[in-house]
Structures are given as C-alpha cells and as structure tokens.
Amino acid sequence: MPDSDRGRRAMLGMVASALSFSLMGVCVKQVGGRIPAAEVVLARAIVSVALSWWLLRRAGISPWGQRRWLLIWRGVIGTAALLCVYAALAALPLASATVLQYLYPPFTGLLAWLMLGERIGKRVVAAMALGWLGVLLVAQPGGSMALAWQPVLIAVAGALFTALAYVSVRSLGQSEHPLVIVFYFPLVALPLSLPLVALHPVLPTPMEVLWLLGVGLFTQLGQVYLTRSLMALPAARATAISYVQVLFAGGWGWLMFGEAIDAWTIAGAALVLAATLVSLSHRQRAR
C-alpha cells in the first residue's frame, strides 16, 4: 500500500478511535455516579480480554508477544490512566473531563521526542497549538466554569499516564502485532483492578450491566483503532488528530446530559476541528 494511502487510513483510524472513546465516556458517565472507577475498569477488562482473545485466535496470532516486560508495563500505565480517566468522567461534566484529558498531546509530543527521537514538524506543532487553545476555550465556557480541584488533578494525572501509554505503544509497534498490544492492556488491568474492587464492591443493576458492556466494547474498538494508527503515524501527529474527540464529547454532553454549549465552547470546538484538519492535510515528502 502506498505511504499516502496508509497514512490516510491511519488518520481516519484516529478519528474512529476518538468517536469510540467518546461513546465509552457516555457509558462511564451513565454508571459513574454509583459504580466505582475500579469496578468499571474491571468490567472493561473482562469484556476486552474476551474480545481480544477471540480476535487473536481468529487471526492465528500468538497472544504473548516478544517484548513481554514492555507489554506488561504498557498495561500497568494504561490501567492507571483508565482509573484516572473514569474517576474524572464520573465527577466532572463529560465535555470538561474530556477536555482535561486532552492535556496529554503536549506530554506525548515531548515524551516521543525525548524517548523515541521523533522530530516534531511545523505543521504538527501548529495543529497542537490550535488544539491546545481550543481545549482552553472549551474548559472555560463563558469564564464561569468552576471545577473541583481533586477531580481536575486526577484528570491531569490521567493525561500524563495516557501520554506514557501512547509512547510505549509507538515503541512496541516496532516488534508487536496491534492485537497483541491491545490484548495485554486488559490482561494486566484485570488482576490490578480486582483488589480495588474487593475493597468496595457494588452490585450493578441490569441496566448498569449493559452500560458496563458498552464501556468494554467501545474501549476495545477505540484501542484497536488507536493502536493501529499509532503504529503508522508519529505520536505527536496522531494525538493532534485525536483532538476531534473533544467535539464528540461536547455533542454527547449536550444531547444526553443537557450540558450547555455556548459561544466559548463553539469557538474552542472550531479550533479543535481546525487542528484536526491541519493534521489531515499534511503530506509527507518523499526522500
């Protein structure tokens, strides 16, 4: 496949990943008022382990990979990120939690440069700057949004862990199949979340079980699209494209939770969209 087609598919994959994760946020928000974050992570891990195992068997791929310690490390970091993200989604408005999560692209670009030696081009820097400005506008709609500092700090920690996980995926892409990387994430999350759930178990209702299944399903889809795209794109460019998740979150928040969308939110969303379009218009030069 030509590099241009491969890059285009990877970019579209990042958009699909963002949509899937935004739907995951809706499901988490539906149960977050009563079900602890660790229990949501456990439910997600159970669903994703089953789906990943089925996909690996169907593709005839060994699930255990080559760089197992790095795969486990990626799972540990990803689990920490999920705990923070789910806790923030439960405590904050959907759009606000998603916006704070999108502090991770600058972290990712910096870590990819420090750890992987990836060069950050001018167009990607411009896209990140536009997206960052859009995030700030959405975070302060009308200047009247007041967020509790505890969930805000949790969301920022989730952004940092997410950046570390993204960079590790980029490194693992050199040796591992995408489905193997996706499989290790819930495989590690399962034993890590069990002790936390045992401390404060909550029996979900039948409707909550459906929402928890939705968390697992949409997270699995998002992870598959994300992992494949990160293996084909530089980490900084991929995360700049994924800013479109803020748009999705704002739409779901308005439709399902009655979250107001004012001029500040619209302006921020426009900048986020501009960041995505700048990234999509990038054309790699032949050497």
- The residue extents of the domains of the chain are 3-280
Query: In this predicted structure, what is the pLDDT of residue 286?
Result: 33
Query: In this predicted structure, what is the pLDDT of residue 287?
Result: 35
Query: Alpha-carbon distance 211 to 193, whole Å?
Result: 18
Query: Alpha-carbon distance 243 to 106, whole Å?
Result: 12
Query: Alpha-carbon distance 177 to 105, whole Å?
Result: 24
Tokens of 75: 């799972």
Query: In this predicted structure, what is the pLDDT of residue 95?
Result: 81
> Has residue 193 got a pLDDT over 60?
yes
For 213-271, write each residue's pLDDT tens digit.
Answer: 999 999 889 888 888 887 787 766 776 788 788 889 989 998 998 887 777 777 877 88
Closest C-alpha among 72, 71, 65, 49 to residue 183: 49
Q: Taking the CB of residue 50, how many other CB atoms lie within 10 A of it?
A: 13
Q: Three-state SS for 174?
A: coil
> Has residue 278 got a pLDDT over 70?
yes
Query: In this predicted structure, what is the pLDDT of residue 283?
Result: 42
Query: Alpha-carbon distance 61 to 65, whole Å?
Result: 9
Query: Alpha-carbon distance 277 to 129, whole Å?
Result: 13
Percentage of the chain surpassing pLDDT 70? 91
Tokens of 117: 């030696």
Q: Up-side HSE of residue 188: CA atoms within 13 Å toward CB?
A: 22
Tokens of 268: 């921020």
Query: In this predicted structure, what is the pLDDT of residue 246?
Result: 83
Mean pLDDT over the full length of the chain? 84
How big is the CA angle at 126 (ends 236 and 222), to the nearest 5 degrees? 35
Residue 145 banded pLDDT, cuts 50, 70, 90:
low
Instruction: Considering only residues 40 and 153, tell me which one the structure prediction assigns the higher pLDDT.
Output: 40
Q: Three-state SS for 34?
A: coil
Query: In this predicted structure, what is the pLDDT of residue 198?
Result: 93
Q: Up-side HSE of residue 243: CA atoms within 13 Å toward CB?
A: 33
Query: In this predicted structure, what is the pLDDT of residue 280?
Result: 58
Dihedral, CA of residue 34, residue 87, residue 43 and residue 21, to nearest 10? 120
Query: In this predicted structure, what is the pLDDT of residue 143?
Result: 55
> Has residue 92 got a pLDDT over 60?
yes
- Please tell me the least confidently modeled range out of 145-149, 171-175, 215-219: 145-149
* Cα of 106 vs its chain's centroid, Å: 14
- Confidence (pTM): 0.81
Query: In this predicted structure, what is the pLDDT of residue 184?
Result: 94
> Has residue 58 got a pLDDT over 90?
yes
3-state helix, strand, coil in the chain (%, to 5): 80, 0, 20
Residue 220 CB partners (closer than 8 Å, separation 6+): 47, 48, 51, 52, 182
What phi, psi does 258 have (nearest 5°)?
65, 25
Instruction: Considering only residues 119 and 93, tell me which one the structure prediction assigns the higher pLDDT.
Output: 93
Query: In this predicted structure, what is the pLDDT of residue 284?
Result: 42
Query: In this predicted structure, what is the pLDDT of residue 279?
Result: 65
